[in-house]
Structure 1
Amino acid sequence: MVCNSYLKTVILQAGKYIQKVTRGFARFANLRSPKTISALRFSSDRIFPSIRKMMVDTSATGNRGMTSNSLSEKVDDRGYASGGWKSEDGKLSCGYSSFKGKRASMEDFYDVKTCKMNGQTVCLFGIFDGHGGSRAAEYLKENLFKNLMNHPEFLANTRLAISETYQQTDSDFLESGKDTFRDDGSTASTAVLVGNHLYVANVGDSRTVISKAGKAIPLSEDHKPNRSDERKRIENAGGVVMWAGTWRVGGVLAMSRAFGNRMLKQFVVAEPEIQEQELDEEFELLVLASDGLWDVVPNEDAVSLALLEEEPESAARKLIETAFSRGSADNITCIVVRLYHELETKPQSETHTQSETEMELQAQSEPKSEEPQMETEAETKREAQPETEPQMETEAETKREAQTETEPEGRTEPQTESEAVTKSGPTPTDG
């Protein structure tokens, strides 16, 4: 009996082992399927999140003749991730920096893409600040710009493409997590530069600011529940805005628009507010950052600090360090985009100024060189005049001598004058 029971146990264990091996072979056979690879990649990201945490994606997808530039990135001993990039024509450069700060985990992500589409330069910059987890922010980093560049109206109607892509990407994210109990979300503040035309889109409380002649101009407005228009929109949709340390949608979320947040989706939408700006030589730089920066650094300070640094990477790092030193308790991420188009006209203006200066110097020196010539000519005339005037006097003297010879002796010039008066008529007398 003991032997029989032992044999049964061995057979059962062997059967289970064979089943495991069979399943293993089946899984191995399916490893090459896209779904399996995607699942494995997602699992690895969950196990090793730091590997992908700070990566900047430079790939450009699609089939419109797009080519992308590579970006450099480094992480120092203090945990600052930073990097930079400069365009081939030297008209544009950007720097980025990110820091976990006092938070236990990193939920900020950023993305920079640059490419050529149909022969036109396109640059995309984005800040994504996650809440309730990092999954939504990471999803936006990996998909938002890729979806936007593949939109059929991206170049023809960029504003429409941005609006539709934002909302479609939000729907895709919610669909991807429908079988989970997660309810995380993310902000997005993006700047899309097509030629010299800038489109800034915002969802949430990350922010984009531009510098024009040293002045800070916000190109996005934070989506806070206490904004009058946002509160009205939420309440019209059946929601409530409550005070819980700060104003919150349903007493939960401290922003009125976001990607994700399935439970509040009816009120917390992902429809972006978009501002357009035609860039000229007065615009100097862009600053995009998560609220970890803007909570403690005003727009004017951010622009002033960034303008002090020659390289945008140094500027982004400086802003992160400033925010941390001022007490920011959040993740802090920043992108600084430097616009160098004004340098094209600078050498020309300098050359023009130099040529004007040279002309002024010439104008100042020419009169000095001409004046002696004019004086010489005047002196020559004066020298020539004395030579002719004595001749005229001689002729006059000759005539007088001739008249003296013909006239009676003893007559003088006064007599000649009296004769002239007598000829011309009587002279008036007193009385």
Structure 2
Amino acid sequence: MPQKPPDGSPPPDDGALPPAALAELTERALGAYVHVPYCAARCGYCDFNTYTAADLGGALVSSVGLTTFVDIATKEIRLARAVLGDADLPISTVFIGGGTPTLLSAGDLARLLHALDAEFGLAADAEVTTEANPESVDPAQLEQLRAAGYTRVSFGMQSDRPHVLAALDRRHTPGRVSEVMRWARKAGFEQVSLDLIYGAPGESEADWAASLRAAVQLGPDHVSAYALTVEEGTKLSRRVRRGELLEPDDDLLADRYLLADEILTAAGLTNYEVSNWSRGPAARCRHNLGYWRGDHWWGFGPGAHSHVGGVRWWNVRHPAEYAARLGAQRSPASAREELDASTRRVERVMLGVRLAEGLGVAELDEAGLAACADLARSGLVEPGALESGRVRLTRRGRLLTDTVVRALLPD
């Protein structure tokens, strides 16, 4: 989540949503995202809304830190239930992200899940994910999380090369990922995912290939691979600006992506979204699919974003202000926007085209439809899928997703 949120309109203090948004509630699945904004240390490339002990006056265990986070977030969960009314809205997916969610105890993470279940109920087949840094978990914690109802864990591996991890300011060693994977399997997690980053300073093609091979040898059900981006305001951006490090080159990043697709595909992982691969449909991240398909989700926690029925809003960013608003029985939302039909269609095109299932041509206007033939001739979308009424990116098209979107959404 970027440092500066978008502009928006002031939301009501009680968080109430327009009747038109509430009328759509039962049309799509509801997901819950919980942003745990605490980290032991901040990685140099990260611009997420996170806070270390130094940021909070010297201790994460404070009135706005770990010890009371679940109690405060539970107030927002109750607010969400009141705003969404009495409709039967079982939560289909839960994703605990951050930050480093596993800085919370297993007991606190279980309490978060219990609060969601108490207010909304969890669907019988709910997917429940927590992110975890490899150095922030142990076997007992993973066993407790699985017993509490977590079904999926996503480890931030990033790289298998020590010097690349150092360049990214990651704290774990390569061997630690193998350990936590074994612990997660022993604990009985249904799905285990790994996150990787390519294009880090000092990373060679051989380094990236080694990281990919190390990842697939661990047998994950799911892999996400993202290009390193230099975000303004980060330690990495300052080092690039001073000339200490080179910004990743677009052609190099494209080569890294192709190598990832080659190695992951050969290992039996299928690309289902531009940056995500899974071991079959059942291992796809259903929570993230909800984002890409335009489902409803409520984001709990400082700086979290939400979307219900074409209304999007985002919370205040600092934990102290978040706690103060909820303590005063006010919504923690900072601002919101109501999307008109045209904007919602644009977003459906931008997100839907990223999926391997493709985008239905019914979402396109006349100009977008006219562009499809040129995109097929250019090798960016599959001609056969187009004949069947869907826009599906080719492998080359995935490298040029922004180009495809601009063609499908001409001014």
TM bucket (normalised to shorter chain) is under 0.3
Whose Rg is larger? 1
TM-score by length of 2: 0.26
TM-score by length of 1: 0.25
Task: Report 1 or 2 for greater relative contact order, CA contacts < 8 Å, sequence distance ≥ 6.
Answer: 2
